[in-house]
Structure 1
């Protein structure tokens, strides 16, 4: 592969990630809409559900590559519906910690059940080893980005 072909690989990967993200959002919305959720809500619920400890909005945003304002809007909607609660943050007086309520945990579990068939189909088509490599590559790419 010559240098010109190599230099387009990053752009091709970026375009593939953008395309995949769009399809994931669209497919995710279709799968979780019957649960009264959206992909954005699922994203925040998942960020909280898989975090080792409660997080403030800014940390959720940074971890997910979203703006703080976008995450705040979703958190406000989730709180209105009783899926998350805001708790005092011992490290920052104004930045509340966001925690899943029991209803939020149930919503995340329902979401995971709804997407399980898609997960299995992707696993069957791509394979666990290739998925693990893809995860590693994307994490390295994330680490390399400013």
Structure 2
């Protein structure tokens, strides 16, 4: 199955596109940008998910949770963790339950809020995280080496602004 994702391929098969979007209009650029954003995101996610799971056995939900916990300098409240990761509460709780069962994290009651739990990563969790990092870092470097640091910073800024806008909708 071919992947018709390039602009040239899109123009070849989307023969009726101009009935909906005028060439070089703002709407044309917005559609094309959002289309490529979605396609790149889907492909990138599938690429890293497959590689990481094949090498380490960890799903994206698990390793992203481990990273989010490890990057904090102190125990993280479950609600804060959910917000930082942009995931729904039930999804996060399932991941945390699995990670705790395997000894990769610890949860304890929050002394400031008895309804909340604080989450920390264990040494075993850090070891698992380093296994994931050893797979992810070279994948990321290979995919992004064609871009300058300035281009990466610009793209990050653009995506951050988009994310902030979408959160406010």
Please report the TM-score for the alignment, with normalisation by the length of structure 1: 0.85
Whether 1:139 aligns to 2:150 is: no
What's the CA shift for 1:95? 1.3
- Please tell me whether residue 28 in structure 1 is matched to residue 48 in structure 2: yes
Q: Determine the C-alpha separation between the residues in 1 that align with 2:37 and 2:89.
A: 22
Deviations 1:78-100 (A, max 9, x none): 11111111022133212111111
**Post-superposition CA distance 1:12-69 (Å, at most 9, x none):** 4433333233223212222221212011111111111222332222222212221111
Aligned-pair Cα RMSD in Å = 2.2
| CA distance 1:122–1:99, shift in 2 (3 Å) | same
Equivalent pairs, count: 145
Q: What are the within-5 Å matches in structure 2 for residues 1-146 of structure 1?
A: 5-33=25-53, 34-145=55-166, 146=168
Larger helix fraction of residues? 1
| TM-score for the superposition, normalised by structure 2 | 0.75
Aligned 8 A contact 1:54 1:98 in 2: yes
Matched residues in 2 for 1:32 and 1:69: separation?
23
Give the distance between the partners of 1:14 and 1:53, measured in 2 at CA: 37
Larger radius of gyration: 2
CA distance in 2, matches of 1:122, 1:128: 13
Unpaired segments of 5 or more residues in structure 1? none
Q: Give 5+ residue unaligned stretches, structure 2.
A: 1-21
